[in-house]
């Protein structure tokens, strides 16, 4: 048996390939040739848990698509100082979008978003605000409920259909 450990992994015992020639005491010299060492390395690496990036991508509720959709974003009455801003999306998903906004907004703040192409209007919530190196801050917003049809995409990703 061999213990396989990686970042964020728990210690677990796994069976190495037959005739791996492993010395478990640490007091002996390796009898593995260069090719066998490479095979052993790949065997161990292929059994590690997915990287943080892969786990993060799997945890997404729906696929993201780079798409520019013209919008009018505004703060509803009673949600703070009123503002109306014409902008466009940078990235869209069945659950929201990433947009550039020059007006000051804060996480958890509710906004209204109107699709300028269709006139459809939805309430959304600010998830995060990040300064951009160039241009207005990037604002991530999520719909109060998944609405994949808001973007009017002819061929949406398969996971958008299950999000309805």
Any idea where the domains of the chain sit in the sequence? 2-58, 65-161
- Tell me if the pTM is above 0.85: no
pLDDT tens for each residue of 12-71:
444 555 545 555 445 555 566 666 666 666 666 666 555 554 554 455 567 778 889 999
Residues 6+ apart with CB under 8 A from 32: 20, 21, 40
Distance between CA atoms of residues 131 and 88, nearest Å: 17
Model confidence at 147, pLDDT cuts 50, 70, 90, reads: confident
Model confidence at 156, pLDDT cuts 50, 70, 90, reads: low
| DSSP H or E segment with residue 33 | none
CATH superfamily of 65-161: predicted glycosyltransferase like domains (2.40.10.220)
pLDDT tens for each residue of 88-122:
999 998 889 999 999 989 999 999 999 999 999 99
SS3 content of the chain, % helix, strand, coil (to 5): 15, 30, 50
More confident residue, 133 or 10: 133
How open is the CA angle 150-151-156, to the nearest 5 degrees?
110
The length of the chain in residues reads 164
**Which pLDDT does position 44 carry in this prediction?**
62
| DSSP H or E segment with residue 128 | strand 121-130
pLDDT tens for each residue of 125-136:
999 999 988 889
């Amino acid at each position: 048996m061999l213990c396989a450990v990686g970042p964020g992994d728990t210690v677990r015992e796994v069976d190495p390939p037959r005739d791996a020639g492993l010395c478990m005491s640490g007091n002996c010299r390796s009898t593995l040739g260069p090719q066998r060492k490479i095979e052993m390395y790949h065997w161990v690496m292929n059994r590690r848990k997915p990287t943080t990036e892969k786990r993060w991508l799997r945890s997404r509720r729906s696929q993201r698509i780079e798409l520019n959709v013209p919008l009018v974003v505004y703060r509803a009455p009673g949600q703070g100082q009123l503002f109306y801003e014409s902008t466009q999306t940078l990235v869209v998903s069945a659950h929201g979008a990433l947009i550039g906004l020059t007006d000051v907004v804060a996480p958890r703040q509710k906004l209204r978003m109107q699709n300028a192409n269709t006139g459809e209007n939805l309430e959304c919530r600010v998830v995060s605000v990040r300064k951009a190196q160039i241009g207005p801050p990037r604002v991530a917003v999520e719909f109060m409920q998944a609405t994949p049809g808001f973007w009017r995409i002819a061929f949406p990703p398969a996971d958008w259909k299950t999000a309805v």
